[in-house]
Amino acid sequence: MSESWPARSVPAADVVAAVRSGTSVFVHGACATPAPLVEALCARRDLADVRLYHLHTAGPAPFAAPGREREFRSISLFAGAPLRQAIAEDRADFIPIFLSDIPDLFLSGQVPLDAALVQVSPPDRHGLCSLGTSCDAAKAAVETARLVLAEINEQMPRTHGNNVVPLERIHAFVATDRPLCEHHPEPETAVEARIGELVAGLVEDGSTLQLGIGGIPDAVLARLHGKRDLGIHTEMFSDRVVDLVESGAVTNRLKQVGAGRIVTSFVNGTRRLFDFVHDNPLVAFYPCDWTNDTAVIRQNPRVVAVNSALQVDLSG
C-alpha cells in the first residue's frame, strides 16, 4: 500500500475542493504550513464564511488579505507575524489561550473541525506518515477532523513520537518535493548578548530547559556550551539546540520524563535542524497538551524556562 501511494496524488486544487462554505478548517503551522493547499484554497472564489483555525503559519497568509473577509475568517490560537496586522485591523481573530489547552478545543468538540489541512512526511513501509516538524495541536486536529487533506512532501522530515498519521486516514493529498520554509535567526544585538550572558549564568548543570523563540533564547543557548548534562523538554526548539547536542552539553541523561531524548512539540529553524530531527529516535515529538502539562514538566529536575516577552503589564 505505502509503495504505491504516489499514484493516488491529485492536484492541490482537487484536494481542497472538498472544503465547503460555512465550515471550520485547521491549518498546520510553522515550518509545516501546507503552502500548496493554502494557495489552492485561496485561489477559489466560491467560498464564504470558512473559519481557519491555526497557530502561527509560515510564508504568506493570503486568506487574511484585505477583501477576503467574507470568504475566510482567520482565527489565530498563536499569532504569528503574517496575521498581526489583520488582527489589529479586526479582519482576523486571536484567541488568547494556553498552548496546553489548544488540543482540547478539538478533542472535546468545542471546536468541531470539518477539515484539517496538514503537511506530512511520506508513508513508511507500515503505511504511516508523520506530522514532521509540528505535532503541537495538529495531532488532535487530524484525530477529530471529518476530512484530513494533506500535502505529502518528500522533504518533510520523518519524526518520532506521538505524531503518526496513517495514510488511510488521509482523504486526499497532493505529492510534493519542495524545501520547507526556513526560519533564520537575526544577528545578535549587544543587548541580547548581555541578557544571554546573565541568564546563562543562572543555568546549572543538569538543568532541563524549556525554550521560546527569538533572539534572547538563542543568545542564552549560545552561551551554554560549557554546561554538563542539560536536558530539553520544551514546546519548541531551533538550530541552537543542535549546537548544544553536538558540543556534548545536552545529554538528557538526568531527565525523569523522556530520559535520553529531546522532547518537543514542534521545531522552527533551518535545513540543518530539519536534517537533525529526520528519523532521529533521540528526538520525540508529542502534542502540546502533554509537553506543556505542568504535571509532566515538574517531574524533571531543575527546570529552567527561557522566553521573550512582547509586552509586560504593570502587575508583571
- Give me the active site residues, please: 235
CA angle 224, 228, 234 (to 5 degrees): 65
| CB 18, CB 44: distance < 8 Å | no
All three cell numbers of 42, joined, read 485561496
Reported as half-sphere exposure (CB side, CA atoms, 13 A), residue 172 has a value of: 14
Neighbours of 20 (CB within 10 A): 14
Alpha carbons 253 and 230: distance in angstroms, whole number: 8
Radius of gyration over every alpha carbon of the chain, rounded to an integer in angstroms:
20
